[in-house]
Amino acid sequence: EVFVPGMSIKRIIVKSAGPYSAKMVFRESPFRIGMDEYNRWAQRPTDMIRRYFGLFFGPPAGENLVAPENELELFITILTFECDMVDKKAAAAINVQIRRIKPERTLSDETYNETTAMTAMTAEAFAAAMSKNIQQIADKVRLKLVEIHQHN
């Protein structure tokens, strides 16, 4: 659990801009993707990311009172969430908007890309590599939150 002192994430909204649902997506070539009928995520990627970011940025008990101008919301759009069969890697691209709730203002709008090499082309290896990608993206968002807090 990571807490950015003086800031509070009140809402996390996650949507997908692609075919990323319960079925795992495998990129077969630069212009062709396949949906795996047998290997599925335990939760939809949107739900997984919302839950992960909620746990990652959750405030410690008793420290969730902050000034109203430091109450934030994250708008996350999944752009890529797939296994690249050609390059043998898991690829994630996620756009994260950090918005102040009151007064309403977008503080950051960035797209984060992460890839992790896969030694095996299995659903288990894909899930492990994607977990690493999301962890790295969450850490970059944490650094962005610290930067925002220092400059506001």
Residue 64, by phi and psi: left (phi above 0), alpha (psi -120 to 50) or beta? alpha
Read off the pLDDT of each residue in 23-36 and give the average, rounded to a whole number. 89
The total number of residues shown for the chain amounts to: 152
Residue recorded with tokens 């090499």:
117
62: exposed, middle or buried (Cβ count in 10 Å: 0-12, 13-18, 19+): exposed
Contacts of 60 (CB under 8 A, 6+ apart): 1, 3
Residue 59: the pLDDT is: 59
Quick one: which of 44, 50, 18 has its CA closest to 33?
Answer: 18
15: exposed, middle or buried (Cβ count in 10 Å: 0-12, 13-18, 19+): exposed
d(CA 137, CA 95) in angstroms, rounded, equals: 10
Q: Which residues of the chain form beta strands (DSSP E)? A: 8-16, 23-29, 32-40, 71-84, 89-100, 105-117
61 band by pLDDT with thresholds 50, 70 and 90: very low
pTM of the model: 0.89
66 band by pLDDT with thresholds 50, 70 and 90: low
Instruction: Show the DSSP H helices in the chain as ranges.
Output: 45-56, 123-151
Read off the pLDDT of each residue in 14-23 and give the average, rounded to a whole number. 90
Pairing relationship of beta strands 105-117 and 23-29 according to DSSP bridges: unpaired
